[in-house]
Amino acid sequence: MPERIKLTSEELGLMSLFQNVSGATARDCVLDPKLERVIFVVSKGEMGLAIGKAGATIRNVQQMIGKQVELVEWADDARQFIMNALNPQFVSDVRMSEKPDGSKTATVVVDQRKKGAILGKEGRNAEKARLLAKRYFDVETIHIITPQ
């Protein structure tokens, strides 16, 4: 986790609760009041543990917190992390670029038929990816495109 990220006592408490219930390691917790959800970044390889059999663990955590809970598996590479945030099975490619002013942009290539699933209801998946990519990798913009 980058040094500049500071967690509140509420976020730390939620991480502790999540870890106690799921047994998975939460690397970060992001409260998103705009979409009334809590996003946990889970250590690589622990997504199954975090979700639980038939989603039982994640449902249990949601009931305890009283909010929608979303999970993203950690990756050290910005491209892979963005894929994880959006759903790697629907993403064909992620291209990273940097403008002369130093700002970073990610271009995500998805199949036209899967674009809705990638964006999510009201764009919530795209917003989650943007929020987390900026938080960890200073990616300012994420463009989601379909091949021509």
Residue 60 pLDDT class (50, 70, 90 cuts) = very high
Q: Per the structure block, which two tokens stand in for 109? A: 């290539």
* Separation of first and last alpha carbons in the chain: 37
User: What residues contact 46, with CB distance under 8 A and at least 6 apart?
Assistant: 24, 25, 73
Question: Residue 41's CB: how many other CB atoms inside 10 A?
Answer: 23
Average pLDDT rounded to a whole number, residues 56-71? 96
Query: Would you state the CATH architecture of domain 9-73?
Result: 2-Layer Sandwich (3.30)
- HEC profile of 112-137: HHHHHHHHCHHHHHHHHHHHHHHHHH
Ranges of each domain in the chain: 9-73, 78-145
Is 80 exceeded by the pLDDT of residue 148? no
CA–CA distance, 142 with 126 (Å, rounded to integer): 8
- At residue 4, the pLDDT reads 74
Specify the pLDDT at position 128: 95
Residue position matching structure tokens 């099975």: 89
As given in the structure block, the two tokens for residue 91 are: 């993403």
Residue 2 confidence (pLDDT) above 70: no
pLDDT digits (tens, 9 = 90+) for 9-56: 999 999 999 999 999 999 999 999 999 999 999 999 999 999 999 999
Question: Tokens in use for 96?
Answer: 């990273």
pLDDT tens, position by position, 83-131: 999 998 999 999 999 999 889 999 999 999 999 999 999 899 999 999 9
- Are domains 9-73 and 78-145 of this chain identical in fold? yes
Question: What Cα–Cα distance (Å) separates residue 66 from each residue in 71, 73, 84, 125, 142?
Answer: 16, 22, 25, 20, 30
Q: What is the pLDDT of residue 1?
A: 46
Res 3: pLDDT: 53
User: What is the per-residue pLDDT for 84?
Assistant: 96
78-145 architecture in CATH?
2-Layer Sandwich (3.30)
What pLDDT does 5 receive?
81
pLDDT (average), residues 52-77: 96
CB neighbour list of residue 37: distance below 8 Å, 6 or more residues apart:
67, 68, 69, 70, 124
In this predicted model, which residue has the larger pLDDT, 3 or 68? 68
User: Which residues sit opposite 73 in a β-bridge?
Assistant: 42
